[in-house]
Structure 1
């Protein structure tokens, strides 16, 4: 999977600047930007503020809050110069995304208090697309970005939103700026960066629909895999994730996670849920490891971390796993993680772990 987040940021900035340059002679301060309460001038400056803030948090590896600074415009800054400010701050975000290591993360509050480079790219593009649309609406101008941009945003940070007839209309609906047939209007919305669950030697990193699509197509999903990876089970689980996403029933916190070693940033396997909890709070866990990573206790460590995280939620009461009778290593993994055998038949053994 190509690390094209920085390229997409640049493309979004170009799309925004091209639209704004068609209206340099208009009074941006005198017109509200679409459905928002800001003027077109304030909204354009807000785009630049977001881009520089995201660049700073990613480049500076902010952990607990935004990097504490603000930018201001010189008095009398005109429309053309404001477009230049957007281009400059966009270039900084694109550079931060291109140069950030794959494991780099920075602070963002929604919803899990951090984002990786693809997440910051997607958030920056989302701000550009949404507010360029607002400005265009306020000025009475047509605007539609290249289709790859809203697709990137939706498959990276809107995993909970079912794809619609096209990505741009779906994005506008998901951000409260448009309508989709058969769907209620959106009045409140948040994007969702991928969830990362820490373990001692690993991190469990949520696989986005974009990464799942790449894995199903034979790619690496944007991860650097240890020798022999990814395993077939991870690709198969990614196909199930994609089906749930396309069906509008995917919940990213009950999706699939890549198991990534802290020491070298390489993925060694996949682990995740077969679906959301049922009415009794039961959900099934499955996992696999690349053959070259087996025998090091990674699966046990990851299963303990994921189980602890899941059972701390109000909607989960019981975890279970079904294992083939002849898969002795996997039986040992669930046993070491605290699961107990509750039944067996010709097809396999069932293990459970409750609160």
Structure 2
């Protein structure tokens, strides 16, 4: 799996500064940046502001809001000076990403009010790529960022966007900056960091398409696993996420979650939904645990947390679990989590947990 971290922030910033450095003699203030209402200069200053803001969120471990600070450039700062500030703030974000532990999350409003270091790196890279495009378009210069960077951004913070043959054109389309054949123009958009749900001894960490692609191909998905993991069910679940992503139907909060121990940050299994709730308000859940983590109540704990979250969503009437007759341990898990056996289908039992408010 291609990483999304400090090196990628450095790469995006270096590419931006190299291109815009060729036009520092132009009047950035008098020219509008592409389709934006801002001038090219205001857009460049905005890039620097976002980079330092993201660095501050990570470094300060912000929990509930943006850290209340910003940057102000000296009045006599020229275009070359603005690029120096972008280079510097980019280096600060890259350093914050490199030195932040994987499990740390900090506040970002969209859409689940937090992001981890990879999320902040991806958002920083996206800001640089997209606004460099805006400035370049305004100044009439060509800009084509590395395809790998664009693909990494898409698979981490645009899980709801069906991939296309050209990652850069897909990213431009997804952010209302271009057209793609066969797809309607985008007029409103948000990126999407993964959802993390707390449990007692675990956190349930939403698996991004980037992580799912790696897991399904035999990798670790960027998680540190206990010995023996990840196992077959996790890889199969990741494959389902990949198929939904490639079809453009993935709703990431209804995807797969890695079960990560709070005590040491190690993944012990996975749990997730087979898809979004159906028209009857039913959603099916599945899970597996690495053998060394079984018998400790982890699956029950995670199932309670995930089911409670699901049943709080509008339109969800019940969570369904289908368990083989021979899988007595899994039957015990769903029973302890409050599910009731409601049907038998061939060699499987069907269990259900209904929303108490309905």
Assess same fold via TM > 0.5. Answer: yes
Alignment of 1:292-307 (within 5 A): 292-307=292-307
TM-score (normalised: structure 1): 0.99
Deviation at 1:4, TM superposition (A): 4.2
**Matched position secondary structure for 1:264:** coil
Determine if contact 2:2/2:152 at 8 Å carries over to the other structure: no
Q: Which residue of 1 aligns with 2:129?
A: 129
Deviation at 1:6, TM superposition (A): 1.1
> Deviations 1:264-287 (Å, cap 9, x if unpaired)?
111110000011111101111000
Deviation at 1:315, TM superposition (A): 2.5
Deviation at 1:316, TM superposition (A): 1.2
Q: Which residue of 2 aligns with 1:29?
A: 29
Deviation at 1:346, TM superposition (A): 3.5
Determine if contact 1:216/1:236 at 8 Å carries over to the other structure: yes
CA distance in 1, matches of 2:345, 2:61: 51
Q: Which residue of 2 aligns with 1:219?
A: 219
Determine if contact 1:257/1:270 at 8 Å carries over to the other structure: yes
**Matched position secondary structure for 2:29:** helix
Q: Which residue of 1 aligns with 2:89?
A: 89
**Matched position secondary structure for 2:272:** strand
Q: Which residue of 2 aligns with 1:139?
A: 139
Deviation at 1:98, TM superposition (A): 1.1
CA distance in 2, matches of 1:2, 1:19: 24
Q: Is residue 202 of structure 1 aligned with residue 198 of structure 2?
A: no
Q: Which residue of 1 aligns with 2:309?
A: 309
**Matched position secondary structure for 1:160:** coil
**Matched position secondary structure for 1:349:** strand
Determine if contact 2:4/2:122 at 8 Å carries over to the other structure: no
Q: Is residue 117 of structure 1 aligned with residue 146 of structure 2?
A: no
Q: Which residue of 2 aligns with 1:248?
A: 248
**Matched position secondary structure for 1:13:** helix
Determine if contact 2:283/2:318 at 8 Å carries over to the other structure: yes
Determine if contact 1:2/1:222 at 8 Å carries over to the other structure: no
> Deviations 1:301-320 (Å, cap 9, x if unpaired)?
00000000000001311111
**Matched position secondary structure for 1:300:** helix
Aligned-residue RMSD, C-alpha? 0.9
CA distance in 1, matches of 2:95, 2:276: 38
TM-score (normalised: structure 2): 0.98
CA distance in 2, matches of 1:165, 1:239: 20
Deviation at 1:2, TM superposition (A): 6.1
Determine if contact 1:35/1:134 at 8 Å carries over to the other structure: yes
Determine if contact 1:207/1:258 at 8 Å carries over to the other structure: yes
Deviation at 1:22, TM superposition (A): 1.1
> Deviations 1:221-276 (Å, cap 9, x if unpaired)?
01111111111101110001001000011110100000011111111100000111
Runs of 4 or more, structure 1, over 4 Å off, are 1-4
| Structure 1: gaps (5+ residues) | none
Determine if contact 1:300/1:337 at 8 Å carries over to the other structure: yes
Deviation at 1:345, TM superposition (A): 4.0
Q: Which residue of 1 aligns with 2:229?
A: 229
CA distance in 2, matches of 1:346, 1:141: 64
CA distance in 2, matches of 1:301, 1:237: 19
Q: Is residue 76 of structure 1 aligned with residue 76 of structure 2?
A: yes
CA distance in 1, matches of 2:52, 2:102: 20
CA distance in 1, matches of 2:251, 2:276: 7
Determine if contact 1:13/1:90 at 8 Å carries over to the other structure: yes
CA distance in 2, matches of 1:345, 1:193: 37
Q: Which residue of 1 aligns with 2:43?
A: 43
CA distance in 1, matches of 2:136, 2:123: 20
Deviation at 1:165, TM superposition (A): 2.4
Q: Which residue of 2 aligns with 1:286?
A: 286
> Greater CA deviation, 230-239 or 340-349?
340-349
| Structure 2: gaps (5+ residues) | none
